[in-house]
Amino acid sequence: MSLTHRDVATVGIGGPVGSGKTTLLAELVPRLRDAGLDVGVIANDILTQEDAERLRERFAGVVPEDLVAGVETGACPHTGIREDPSMNLQQIDAFLDEHPDLDLVLIESGGDNLAATFNPELADYSLYVISVAEGEDIPRKRGPGVVDCDLLVINKTDLAPHVGADLDVIERDAGAVREGPFVFTDCKAKDGIETVLSHVREGVLFA
Ligand SMILES: Nc1nc2c(ncn2[C@@H]2O[C@H](COP(=O)(O)OP(=O)(O)OP(=O)(O)O)[C@@H](O)[C@H]2O)c(=O)[nH]1
Protein backbone atom coordinates (compact mmCIF):
# COMPACT_ATOMS: atom_id res chain seq x y z
CA MET A 1 0.00 0.00 0.00
CA SER A 2 1.57 3.29 -1.03
CA LEU A 3 1.00 6.59 0.74
CA THR A 4 -0.36 8.57 -2.18
CA HIS A 5 -3.09 10.41 -0.31
CA ARG A 6 -2.24 13.74 -1.91
CA ASP A 7 -4.83 13.05 -4.60
CA VAL A 8 -7.45 13.94 -2.01
CA ALA A 9 -7.93 17.01 0.18
CA THR A 10 -7.63 16.37 3.93
CA VAL A 11 -9.07 18.32 6.85
CA GLY A 12 -8.10 17.66 10.48
CA ILE A 13 -10.43 18.37 13.40
CA GLY A 14 -8.73 18.53 16.80
CA GLY A 15 -9.67 19.77 20.25
CA PRO A 16 -10.08 18.77 23.88
CA VAL A 17 -12.29 15.84 24.95
CA GLY A 18 -15.96 16.73 24.66
CA SER A 19 -15.49 20.12 22.97
CA GLY A 20 -17.81 19.13 20.11
CA LYS A 21 -15.54 17.69 17.40
CA THR A 22 -17.86 14.80 16.50
CA THR A 23 -20.93 17.03 16.63
CA LEU A 24 -19.31 19.52 14.26
CA LEU A 25 -18.20 16.73 11.92
CA ALA A 26 -21.73 15.38 11.88
CA GLU A 27 -23.00 18.79 10.75
CA LEU A 28 -20.30 19.39 8.15
CA VAL A 29 -20.41 16.08 6.31
CA PRO A 30 -24.03 16.18 5.04
CA ARG A 31 -23.50 19.76 3.87
CA LEU A 32 -20.37 18.75 1.96
CA ARG A 33 -22.30 15.83 0.44
CA ASP A 34 -25.11 18.22 -0.54
CA ALA A 35 -22.48 20.31 -2.31
CA GLY A 36 -21.71 17.25 -4.45
CA LEU A 37 -18.48 16.19 -2.76
CA ASP A 38 -17.49 12.60 -2.03
CA VAL A 39 -16.34 12.57 1.56
CA GLY A 40 -14.58 10.03 3.79
CA VAL A 41 -14.37 10.27 7.58
CA ILE A 42 -11.76 8.96 10.03
CA ALA A 43 -12.32 9.13 13.79
CA ASN A 44 -9.21 8.68 15.93
CA ASP A 45 -9.65 7.34 19.42
CA ILE A 46 -7.20 5.90 21.91
CA LEU A 47 -8.73 2.45 22.28
CA THR A 48 -12.30 2.50 20.99
CA GLN A 49 -14.30 2.63 17.78
CA GLU A 50 -17.12 4.49 19.55
CA ASP A 51 -16.97 7.75 17.60
CA ALA A 52 -16.67 5.86 14.29
CA GLU A 53 -19.69 3.69 15.14
CA ARG A 54 -21.69 6.76 16.15
CA LEU A 55 -20.78 8.46 12.87
CA ARG A 56 -21.54 5.38 10.77
CA GLU A 57 -25.07 5.32 12.22
CA ARG A 58 -25.46 9.06 11.81
CA PHE A 59 -24.30 9.02 8.17
CA ALA A 60 -26.32 5.97 7.13
CA GLY A 61 -27.63 6.69 3.63
CA VAL A 62 -25.40 9.80 3.37
CA VAL A 63 -21.87 8.36 3.37
CA PRO A 64 -21.06 4.77 2.30
CA GLU A 65 -20.28 2.64 5.35
CA ASP A 66 -16.77 1.82 4.13
CA LEU A 67 -15.93 5.54 4.05
CA VAL A 68 -16.34 5.93 7.80
CA ALA A 69 -13.40 4.43 9.69
CA GLY A 70 -12.06 4.39 13.23
CA VAL A 71 -8.33 4.53 13.89
CA GLU A 72 -7.26 3.29 17.32
CA THR A 73 -4.05 5.14 18.06
CA GLY A 74 -3.34 3.21 21.29
CA ALA A 75 -1.50 6.27 22.57
CA CYS A 76 -1.91 10.00 23.15
CA PRO A 77 -4.01 11.43 20.31
CA HIS A 78 -1.27 13.74 19.10
CA THR A 79 0.98 10.75 18.38
CA GLY A 80 -1.33 9.45 15.66
CA ILE A 81 -2.00 12.82 14.04
CA ARG A 82 1.37 14.51 14.46
CA GLU A 83 4.41 12.36 15.33
CA ASP A 84 3.47 9.26 13.34
CA PRO A 85 0.41 9.74 11.13
CA SER A 86 1.03 6.48 9.22
CA MET A 87 -2.12 4.72 10.52
CA ASN A 88 -4.25 7.60 9.29
CA LEU A 89 -2.40 7.80 5.98
CA GLN A 90 -2.92 4.08 5.43
CA GLN A 91 -6.64 4.50 6.12
CA ILE A 92 -6.80 7.31 3.55
CA ASP A 93 -5.09 5.02 1.04
CA ALA A 94 -7.58 2.25 1.85
CA PHE A 95 -10.42 4.71 1.12
CA LEU A 96 -8.80 5.69 -2.18
CA ASP A 97 -8.28 2.08 -3.23
CA GLU A 98 -12.05 1.61 -3.18
CA HIS A 99 -13.11 5.19 -4.00
CA PRO A 100 -10.47 6.72 -6.27
CA ASP A 101 -12.62 9.79 -6.95
CA LEU A 102 -12.91 10.78 -3.31
CA ASP A 103 -12.76 14.58 -2.92
CA LEU A 104 -12.16 15.08 0.77
CA VAL A 105 -11.28 13.17 3.95
CA LEU A 106 -12.14 14.62 7.36
CA ILE A 107 -9.96 13.31 10.20
CA GLU A 108 -11.16 13.74 13.78
CA SER A 109 -8.43 13.56 16.41
CA GLY A 110 -8.97 12.01 19.81
CA GLY A 111 -9.52 14.62 22.53
CA ASP A 112 -6.30 16.27 23.74
CA ASN A 113 -5.01 18.94 26.08
CA LEU A 114 -4.77 22.01 23.81
CA ALA A 115 -1.39 20.87 22.48
CA ALA A 116 -2.27 18.70 19.47
CA THR A 117 -1.51 19.94 15.99
CA PHE A 118 -1.84 18.00 12.75
CA ASN A 119 1.18 16.86 10.81
CA PRO A 120 1.06 18.80 7.50
CA GLU A 121 1.61 15.45 5.74
CA LEU A 122 -1.77 14.37 7.10
CA ALA A 123 -3.97 17.48 7.03
CA ASP A 124 -4.03 20.18 4.39
CA TYR A 125 -6.25 22.29 6.63
CA SER A 126 -6.91 22.03 10.36
CA LEU A 127 -9.75 23.03 12.65
CA TYR A 128 -9.38 23.16 16.42
CA VAL A 129 -12.59 23.03 18.46
CA ILE A 130 -12.75 24.41 22.00
CA SER A 131 -15.76 24.78 24.26
CA VAL A 132 -16.61 27.98 26.15
CA ALA A 133 -17.91 25.71 28.92
CA GLU A 134 -14.34 24.79 29.82
CA GLY A 135 -13.56 28.39 30.77
CA GLU A 136 -13.15 31.74 29.07
CA ASP A 137 -9.39 31.64 29.61
CA ILE A 138 -8.68 28.78 27.16
CA PRO A 139 -7.38 31.01 24.32
CA ARG A 140 -5.08 32.82 26.79
CA LYS A 141 -3.32 29.54 27.57
CA ARG A 142 -1.83 29.74 24.07
CA GLY A 143 -1.95 25.99 23.44
CA PRO A 144 -0.38 25.11 20.09
CA GLY A 145 -3.69 23.60 18.97
CA VAL A 146 -5.46 26.92 19.54
CA VAL A 147 -2.71 29.13 18.14
CA ASP A 148 -1.51 27.13 15.12
CA CYS A 149 -4.68 25.65 13.60
CA ASP A 150 -6.03 27.14 10.37
CA LEU A 151 -9.45 27.83 11.92
CA LEU A 152 -10.28 28.01 15.63
CA VAL A 153 -13.87 26.96 16.36
CA ILE A 154 -15.17 28.29 19.67
CA ASN A 155 -18.15 26.05 20.37
CA LYS A 156 -21.03 25.80 22.87
CA THR A 157 -21.70 29.54 22.92
CA ASP A 158 -25.16 28.65 24.24
CA LEU A 159 -23.52 27.54 27.52
CA ALA A 160 -21.63 30.81 28.09
CA PRO A 161 -24.25 32.39 30.37
CA HIS A 162 -24.50 29.21 32.42
CA VAL A 163 -20.79 29.01 33.18
CA GLY A 164 -20.06 32.73 33.50
CA ALA A 165 -17.97 32.89 30.34
CA ASP A 166 -17.82 36.28 28.63
CA LEU A 167 -17.79 35.84 24.83
CA ASP A 168 -16.32 39.33 24.38
CA VAL A 169 -13.31 38.34 26.49
CA ILE A 170 -12.89 35.11 24.50
CA GLU A 171 -13.13 37.05 21.24
CA ARG A 172 -10.51 39.58 22.38
CA ASP A 173 -8.11 36.85 23.57
CA ALA A 174 -8.58 34.65 20.50
CA GLY A 175 -7.77 37.67 18.32
CA ALA A 176 -4.69 38.42 20.43
CA VAL A 177 -3.16 34.92 20.37
CA ARG A 178 -4.00 34.06 16.75
CA GLU A 179 -3.15 35.47 13.39
CA GLY A 180 -5.68 33.21 11.67
CA PRO A 181 -9.47 33.31 11.81
CA PHE A 182 -11.84 32.03 14.50
CA VAL A 183 -15.57 31.33 14.49
CA PHE A 184 -18.13 31.09 17.29
CA THR A 185 -20.48 28.11 17.01
CA ASP A 186 -23.39 26.55 18.83
CA CYS A 187 -23.35 23.15 17.17
CA LYS A 188 -26.54 22.10 18.95
CA ALA A 189 -28.49 24.98 17.40
CA LYS A 190 -26.38 24.71 14.20
CA ASP A 191 -25.23 28.33 14.56
CA GLY A 192 -21.99 29.16 12.78
CA ILE A 193 -21.77 25.87 10.87
CA GLU A 194 -22.12 27.54 7.46
CA THR A 195 -19.27 29.91 8.33
CA VAL A 196 -17.04 26.96 9.27
CA LEU A 197 -18.03 25.29 6.03
CA SER A 198 -17.07 28.27 3.91
CA HIS A 199 -13.66 28.49 5.61
CA VAL A 200 -13.08 24.79 4.91
CA ARG A 201 -14.14 25.15 1.30
CA GLU A 202 -11.89 28.17 0.81
CA GLY A 203 -9.06 26.43 2.65
CA VAL A 204 -8.96 23.18 0.71
CA LEU A 205 -11.31 23.36 -2.24
CA PHE A 206 -10.83 26.94 -3.38
CA ALA A 207 -14.59 27.34 -3.92
N1 LIG B 1 -24.87 22.78 24.68
C2 LIG B 1 -24.10 22.37 23.69
N3 LIG B 1 -23.70 21.09 23.66
C4 LIG B 1 -22.92 20.69 22.63
C5 LIG B 1 -22.53 21.56 21.57
N6 LIG B 1 -21.74 20.87 20.71
C7 LIG B 1 -21.66 19.61 21.20
N8 LIG B 1 -22.37 19.49 22.36
C9 LIG B 1 -22.52 18.32 23.22
O10 LIG B 1 -21.29 18.10 23.90
C11 LIG B 1 -21.08 16.70 24.10
C12 LIG B 1 -19.73 16.30 23.53
O13 LIG B 1 -19.78 16.49 22.13
P14 LIG B 1 -18.90 15.62 21.11
O15 LIG B 1 -19.20 16.13 19.74
O16 LIG B 1 -19.06 14.18 21.39
O17 LIG B 1 -17.44 16.07 21.58
P18 LIG B 1 -16.05 15.49 21.06
O19 LIG B 1 -15.12 16.65 21.05
O20 LIG B 1 -16.22 14.75 19.79
O21 LIG B 1 -15.69 14.47 22.22
P22 LIG B 1 -14.56 13.30 22.22
O23 LIG B 1 -14.70 12.55 20.92
O24 LIG B 1 -14.93 12.48 23.41
O25 LIG B 1 -13.24 13.98 22.38
C26 LIG B 1 -22.25 15.99 23.43
O27 LIG B 1 -23.20 15.69 24.44
C28 LIG B 1 -22.80 17.03 22.46
O29 LIG B 1 -24.18 16.89 22.21
C30 LIG B 1 -22.98 22.92 21.63
O31 LIG B 1 -22.67 23.77 20.78
N32 LIG B 1 -23.77 23.26 22.71
167: exposed, middle or buried (C-beta count within 10 Å: 0-12, 13-18, 19+)?
middle
Q: Residue 1's pLDDT is what? A: 41
What does the alpha-carbon distance between residue 8 and residue 37 come to, in Å, rounded to a whole number? 11
Residue 3, pLDDT above cutoff 60: no
Strands 104-108 and 125-131, bridge-based pairing: unpaired
Nearest atom in ligand 1 to the alpha carbon of residue 186 is: 31
Q: Which of 132, 186, 187 is nearest to 164 (CA)?
A: 132
For residue 70, the surrounding DSSP H or E stretch is strand 68-72
Which residues belong to the annotated binding site for GTP?
15-22
Give 5-56 pLDDT, tens digit per residue: 568 999 999 999 999 999 999 999 999 999 999 999 999 987 777 878 888 9
Domain spans, the chain: 7-201
> What value of ipTM does the predicted structure carry?
0.99
Residue 123, pLDDT above cutoff 50: yes
What does the alpha-carbon distance between residue 115 and residue 78 come to, in Å, rounded to a whole number? 8
* DSSP-based three-state secondary structure for 73: coil
Q: Residue 6's pLDDT is what? A: 62
| Residue 14 CA to ligand 1 centre (angstroms) | 13
Q: Are the C-beta atoms of 199 and 183 separated by less than 8 Å? A: yes
Q: Residue 2's pLDDT is what? A: 45
Give 131-163 pLDDT, tens digit per residue: 999 999 999 999 999 999 999 999 999 999 999
The Cα-based distances of 34 to 19, 31, 38, 110 in angstroms read 25, 5, 10, 27
Using alpha carbons only, how large is the chain's radius of gyration in Å?
A: 16
User: Superfamily for 7-201?
Assistant: P-loop containing nucleotide triphosphate hydrolases (3.40.50.300)
Angle, CA 3 vertex, CA 23 and CA 99 arms, to 5°: 60
Residue 98, pLDDT above cutoff 60: yes
Nearest atom in ligand 1 to the alpha carbon of residue 189 is: 31
C-beta of 10 in contact with ligand 1 (< 6 A):
no
C-beta of 30 in contact with ligand 1 (< 6 A):
no
Angle, CA 4 vertex, CA 95 and CA 65 arms, to 5°: 5
